[in-house]
Chain A
Amino acid sequence: MAEFAYEPEPAGGVVLAPGESAREIAGKSPWRLAGRRLLRNRVALAAAGLFVLIVVVSFGAPLYAEHIAHTDPFANNLNGTTVVDGKKVEVLQQGGGPLKLGETPIGPTWQSNYFLGADNQGRDVMARVLYGGRASLLIGVGSAVLACLAALLLALVAGFFRGPVDMVLSRLMDLIWAFPIFLLAISLATVLLTAPDGLQWGPVHVDPSSLWVPTLIIALVYVPYVYRPVRGQVLSVREKEYVEAAISQGASNVRLMFGEILPNVVTTVIVMLPLMIATTILTESALSFLSIGVQPPKASWGTIIDDGQDLLYSRPWVAIAPGIMIVLTVLSLNVLGDGVRDALDPRAKLRIKG
Chain B
Amino acid sequence: MSQSFSSHTLRSSLRVAGPRKEIWIASLGCLLGSTLLLLAVQLYQDGNAFLKESEGPRNYFTLNKKIEGGAIVNLGKSDQSFDPAEIDRIKKLEGVRRVGGFTRNRFPLTLYIWPSGKVGLGAAAKTDLFFESIPDEFLDFVPEEWQWDDNSSTVPIMVPKFYLDLWNFGLAPSRVEYPALSTEAATGMPIELYIGKTGEVRLMGRFVAFSKRINSVLVPESFLKSANEKYGQADANDFFFLWKNGAIEGPPISRSSLASMEGEEGFDDWEVSPLENPAERAPASETLQGEAKPEEPSRIILEVADNPSDSFLALVRERGYEINREFPEQDLIKKAMLALFLGIGGIGALLSLLSIATFATSFRLVVTQASEQTGNLLLLGFSREEVGQVFLTRFLRLFLWVLGGAILAGYACKWILVEQALRFGVDLNPGVSLATLTFVSAYALLFLFVNKRVIKNSVEDLVP
Chain A complexes with chain B: no
Chain A residues close to B by CB (< 8 Å):
none
Chain B residues close to A by CB (< 8 Å):
none
